Amino acid sequence: MVKPHGSDELNPLFVYDTAENEALQAEAANLPSITISSAAAANAVMLGGGYFNPLTGYMNKADAISVAENMHTTSGLFWPTPVLNLVKDAGSIKAGDRIALKDPNVEGNPVLAVMDVEAVEELSDDEVTNIVQNVFRTTDPEHPGVATFMDQGKVVLSGPIKVLNFSYFQTEFPDTFRTAVEIRNEIKEHGWKKVVAFQTRNPMHRAHEELCHMAMERLGADGLVIHMLLGKLKPGDIPAPVRDAAIRKMVELYFKPNSVIVTGYGFDMLYAGPREAVLHAVFRQNMGANYLIVGRDHAGVGDYYGDFDAQEIFDTIPEGTLEIEIFKADHTAYSKKLNKVVMMREAPDHTKEDFILLSGTKVREMLSRGEAPPPEFSRPEVAKILMDYYQSLSS
């Protein structure tokens, strides 16, 4: 199986030893505490699950700036996006303190992790702008990722953490949420040798389904991990339970038995386009995938990124930096000429009229009216789950 990023073995920061976990919970009750942002909580969950291997905790200011500017920490570790615990006010917390990090997303704000604070530093306005511009390629406050970053505060709490639970992800998504450790174990159990990962924050239509089939076939892969984001999205995105049901139905009916794992991870979407695509590759390597499908406008939002910027960024990464490889996908659509889904660049003799093309807005309008999109666009069984959801919104 592909090695984790930056180490020979995966080093998840979750405390699996029950006695140690309970002792830390008891200790945390008497520690100074701070309720962290949703973004910092998501980082803790990813660190806990081994997805952010080999990081041992939150980055300091120098590492965050270095990562933003050149995708390496100050010690030379390749990493595409800062992993921070930003707060508006650290109060009396100082370097050398051991503190409890409280979960903002669970009622009662239980302790999510225990942190040994190595530094408390403040970002200047110029440093915030520099990080944001490099990571998101824009400082526009209308960009949802930029807005979230700017809203967290400028005080950087850095240092190693020990993670005590996986926030709401394990309880709300017990059948779907998995750590990188668990996915590696599942891949081993299946005996898969070549694994393709597919990232999604949306339900999967015919084009996505066929893209996964295409990638598996062309790469000679024997396993597919459909890996969906379970954390915070922007308004209007389809909630995870609906996505999950639609994807599971598609897999059940249209993929070979025992060739697909449907799973999810606890992270908030950054909408950072190219940089987030690289982050997706890093943590898919950590979960044991050999390939990641990167399609058109991967992890993008609005018009902030070019259609294939998220593929082109991989051409700038020195060879050997990552073991995972990228399957570069073009826009896929159903060809009326060929009666199948194709990558549009592979059908040069086609005009726009030869494809069935529907915008996301158009599809949402149809579903909310109780109309199924054409079967060439969406499997009827999948469309039914989505129609029921959209109609429940208007009833």
Looking at 11, 130, 202, 364, which residue is catalytic?
202
Strand partners, 163: 14, 113
| Residue 201 appears among annotated catalytic residues | yes
Among residues 160, 134, 151, which one has the least CA distance to residue 65?
A: 134
Is 70 catalytic? The answer is no
Residue of 109, 201, 248, 364 marked catalytic: 201
Residue 164's nearest CA partner among 6, 9, 10, 27 is 27
CB 333 within 8 A of CB 355: yes
> Residues of 35-46 as b/e, b for ≥16 C-beta within 10 angstroms?
ebbbbbbbbbbb
Report d(CA 355, CA 351) in Å as an integer.
7
Active site residues: 201-202
